[in-house]
């Protein structure tokens, strides 16, 4: 039995080697048949696309390498590292030269992503930001997929023994590739959510954190602990944990979590932001307003806190705030004020 057969690192090395070979052939010029085969390979596994993007990024850094290491200008092919404003066509490479180029790309990628040098080239932490109305689905190097809601900011750091995402603000959904020896952690507001292979959603606002598991299981702990103990609280699929005030977290105390079982409709409503339309079923106006506000510069303001309890149902385009507000007003539930260009203030309608 081959001990490397089930080794995820060995599998990832094979994917990176194949990605490098495809990139070299792409630079030389893909035939229509090979272009189709390349697209099919990219679609087979999210790790394939992630490996290609990682190598492309590493290659881009190599183009700037001489700015950091002047000695690197001495190279068998100086044009290879010379920046140009236009795409250039490389000469047709002999098989031996192609093998050398592939080795060069792989060594360069390993160099740029090694623990020793990633910080020097800015790869120690990958940084992603979405603005109002934004949405970003990010394939990660291990095959995991990170989906970011609007107004979200994260930093990603992968090492040999840990996969870490720091959610600085906003909301993200994580589909985690299974790696038993390398856990996947999301940290936000001092709370750590640890998974091995699962799907879960994390949302943070002010000092609060909400974690919803949609598949598998996660462990929760104070991030300061580093390694969740065997008694760390766990969440299973269909469960949601809410940390109302992260300022009360302490490594030597139990987590002040509220954990509840949620219905399938609640799960769908919580993940509605991933759809081209926002779908609500018995949602509250407060939650609906929050989801609209995450995606738009035009903000819905509830002047009366009790308005937030009004039930709302239906499907809406996320950018169509005005139509949604008109629908609310037509039901005689609220009155609408436009005192500022980017604010719509809702007040409870006076009963006649």
Q: Which residue segment(s) compose the domain that 88 sits in?
A: 8-113
Residue pair 332/349 in contact (Cβ under 8 Å)? The answer is: yes
Q: How many domains does the chain have?
A: 3
253 and 134 both lie in a single domain: yes
- What's the chain's Rg over C-alpha atoms? 25
Q: Which residues pair with 186 in a beta bridge?
A: 165, 193
pLDDT computed for residue 62 by the predictor: 55
Question: Is there a domain that residue 60 lies in?
Answer: yes
251 and 344 both lie in a single domain: no
Strand, coil or helix: what is 148?
strand
Which of 184, 187, 188, 234 lies closest to 208, judged by CA? 188
Q: Give the whole-angstrom CA distance, residue 63 versus residue 81.
A: 5
Average pLDDT per consecutive 10 residues, the chain (352 residues; last block may be shorter): 51 76 70 79 82 71 46 37 39 45 51 43 66 80 88 90 92 91 91 89 91 93 73 89 81 80 87 78 86 83 88 81 84 81 85 60
pLDDT computed for residue 8 by the predictor: 54
pLDDT computed for residue 325 by the predictor: 86
- Extract the tokens encoding 334: 């609220």
Q: What is the CATH number of the domain that holds 332?
A: 3.55.50.30
Q: Give the whole-angstrom CA distance, residue 98 versus residue 95.
A: 5
Among the candidates 263, 285, 319, a domain finishes at: 263
Question: Is there a domain that residue 121 lies in?
Answer: no
Quick one: how many helices (H) and strands (E) in the chain?
8, 18
Residue pair 216/232 in contact (Cβ under 8 Å)? The answer is: no
The count of other CB atoms within 10 Å of the CB of residue 243 is 22
CA torsion, ordered 93, 95, 98, 102, to nearest 10 deg: 170
132 and 256 both lie in a single domain: yes
Among the candidates 87, 113, 139, a domain finishes at: 113
Strands 163-175 and 199-205: antiparallel
pLDDT computed for residue 194 by the predictor: 92
pLDDT computed for residue 4 by the predictor: 44
149 and 230 both lie in a single domain: yes
pLDDT computed for residue 252 by the predictor: 64
Q: Give the whole-angstrom CA distance, residue 236 versus residue 241.
A: 10
Among the candidates 218, 243, 263, a domain finishes at: 263
């Amino acid at each position: 039995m081959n001990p490397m057969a089930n080794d995820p690192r060995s599998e990832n090395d094979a994917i990176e080697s194949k990605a490098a070979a495809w990139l070299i052939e792409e630079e030389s010029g893909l035939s229509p048949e090979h272009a189709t085969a390349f697209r099919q390979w990219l679609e087979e596994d999210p790790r394939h696309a992630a490996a290609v993007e990682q190598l492309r990024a590493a290659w881009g850094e190599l183009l700037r390498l001489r700015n950091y290491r002047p000695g690197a200008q001495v190279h068998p092919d100086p044009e290879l590292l010379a920046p140009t404003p236009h795409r250039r066509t490389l000469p047709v490479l002999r098989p031996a030269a192609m093998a050398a180029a592939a080795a060069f790309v792989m060594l360069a990628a390993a160099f740029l992503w090694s623990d020793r040098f990633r910080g020097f080239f800015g790869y120690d932490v990958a940084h992603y930001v979405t603005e109002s109305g934004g949405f970003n689905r990010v394939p990660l190097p291990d095959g995991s997929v990170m989906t970011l809601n609007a107004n979200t900011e994260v930093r990603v750091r992968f090492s040999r023994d840990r996969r870490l995402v720091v959610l600085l603000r906003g909301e993200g959904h994580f589909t985690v590739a299974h790696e038993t020896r390398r856990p996947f952690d999301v940290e936000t507001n001092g709370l750590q959510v640890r998974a091995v292979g699962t799907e879960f959603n994390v949302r943070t606002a002010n000092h609060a954190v909400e974690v919803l598991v949609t598949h598998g299981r996660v462990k929760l702990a104070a991030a300061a602990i580093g390694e969740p103990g065997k008694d760390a609280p766990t969440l299973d699929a269909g469960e949601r944990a809410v940390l109302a005030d992260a300022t009360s977290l302490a490594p030597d105390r139990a987590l002040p979590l509220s954990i509840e079982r949620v219905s399938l409709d609640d799960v769908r409503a919580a993940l509605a932001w991933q759809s081209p339309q926002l779908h609500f079923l018995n949602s509250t106006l407060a939650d609906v307003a929050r989801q609209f506000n995450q995606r738009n510069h035009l903000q819905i303001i509830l002047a009366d806190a009790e308005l937030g309890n009004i039930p709302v149902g239906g499907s809406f385009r996320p950018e169509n705030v005005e139509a949604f507000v008109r629908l609310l007003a037509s039901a005689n539930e609220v009155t609408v004020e436009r005192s500022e260009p980017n604010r719509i203030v809702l007040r409870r309608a006076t009963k006649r």
